[in-house]
Chains A and B, each alone.
Chain A
Amino acid sequence: MQNLKDFKASKLAKIFNQFFMVSMWVLGIITVFFVLLLLFLILKDGLPYVTWDFVIGLPSEIDAGGGIGPMLLNSFYVTILSLLVSIPISLGAGIYLAEYAPDNKLTSTIRVCVEGLSSVPSIVFGLIGIALFVEYFQIGLTIIGASLSLAMLNLPLLTRVSEESIRAVPHSYREGSYALGATKLQTIFKVVIPVAMRGLITGLSLVAGRAFGESAVIILAGGVNASAEMWDFSLFSPGGTLAVHLWYVQSEAIVPDAKEIAHKSAAVLLFVVLAINLLFRIPLWWMERKMK
């Protein structure tokens, strides 16, 4: 038998190790650099040329110089409507799972449903939107159809972040409240939700950003066009959003400046999505600073 006592760590193992460390560093740095470069490229090719006229201007079918006003408005409008519908339900479901749910069959069924719903491909929500609003209610491709289809898409993620942030509130807070004679409802609203607010807002920004940029659902349930006039808040106007418009001008439009419009639209879209992700968090950072 060989005597392991005299064995040394092999040179090869060390060389592999060195090589591995170097390649991991290279991979890490290249990835980060690449990601930042891509974001930069999109913003650089579009944002400097974005004018106010472009942002609130009407699109044009044939001539150059069209804007994205109604689409951008639709993006905000559809996002907000979808959140208005999905927030109460998701928050309710999240509170149920975190605060009430007993450990039984029903609860685990609900959990499976939340996970299942979150895995549903977004295009399926679009197909349901078509079936429900276009076919069954016969209202065509509208803001309301797009918003409600999008609301379904929001539900699972929003429920999950609600549950997680409420669950993360330490038990001692609740006990303190019960000790003062508060009911469960009072405890949830006066103690638990304020403490969970940070997580709730972060989660909300995640969902809002995703809803704002969603395209597959909107194309099917809201269509590719937006209202022909600005500041049209009718729920039954066409529901095309900026994300959809970006695809539309790239592939279907015949205006001569389609390329520029696409670049500018992409930059505006990315800018707003990043802003939604960051803006929501600024008050939180600020609050945390103050607490320290």
Chain B
Amino acid sequence: MNASLDSRTPAPAPQAAPEAALPRQTEALRLRLAELRGPETAPYPLDARALAALAANPGCRRRALLDGAGVDKAALARAIGSPATFGQSQFAFVRGNAFEARVGADAGAELVRLLVETHRDVAAPGPEGVSVPDLTATGQAARAARTRLALTEAFTADRWSLLFHPMVTLDVAGAPAHLEPDVVAVGPDGHCTVVEIKSFPVVDGSADAAKVGAAARQAAVYALALGRLAERIDGPEPSHRGAPRGTDRIRPTALLVCPRDFSNLPTGEPVDIRKQLAVTRRQLARLTRIEEIAASLPEGTTFDLRPAADGTATRPVDELVHAVESVGASYSPECLAACELAIHCRSRSRGSGAVEALGRSVRGELGGLTTVESVLLAAAGTQGDETDPAVSSLRRAAALRAEALAGETPCH
């Protein structure tokens, strides 16, 4: 599940039409992003989880820029003294890997079985078996090229193909992100299914809704990237004999593979990702172009930690904080579980008295009041325009609350 926003020019893919491939980053932007990240620093990989989180908060220019430039946000957060609160336990890591290995064992026989079981319209593999192309290559560009080749073959193979850890690319705010789905299955009918392997259990057919939702959002990111790739492979010709082409090849149902009940045996659950696809597509389109954000930064801004030999940052903290603060953010408590910079952004948000620090939904009922102080002053009647419905509601709320707390009203 590794992927990255690579700012190096991808090597032209063999037999591919590079012009049509990716919106190439301009040399100027490439240099600019490298400068922001630090010329010595390799771009930090951006995975589908991060992309899904980015799409969930499209209003945040700060995150878009840092992700786009391949800045390691966790390291940046540590360097400015507000480390992220989440980490991964090695137990979870080991367990996740063990389960994934188990699911993929036997050249994916179990996986194909689950696919056939959950999709009524797909045929079980015949004697021709399942093809599992080797996708290993050095470097993201080469891996993406291999994936493209393997997928082109799979589309016309008339048999099942399983692509384990393929590499696909997606244009994110004007920079290509490399993504690595767990598995992409191509059926004999030329349809692709995104397979997500997760280690949380499905007990009696149901699983933690939040985790399923997160998996669906990630699958949607992969499906989006895969659809673009299929479009490039198939070209503009119309389909013949009703065979699927381009984005139509991608099934709007991903296959979620999880341990069943309390065992280590895999079970497959089809997950409808149409909604997530639409949302992700729209949100990614809403992301301000990184070029624009980068251009708006003051001269000399950089997130380069200038790491010493032992990896500790040597750039002064206030310089880094200044750089971070030069890009607008859009903090809400949901950031805490989704973004490494959340502790920093939260303290700024709280410090400025922003109402969103209490929850994204809070804004809605407060009209034009954006700070805690202005809300309280309006509620107390010392500030604000009484004809503003938000202000008058607040005054009534404050009066009713005070009355109830003073024990002056009956409740019956």
A is bound by B: no
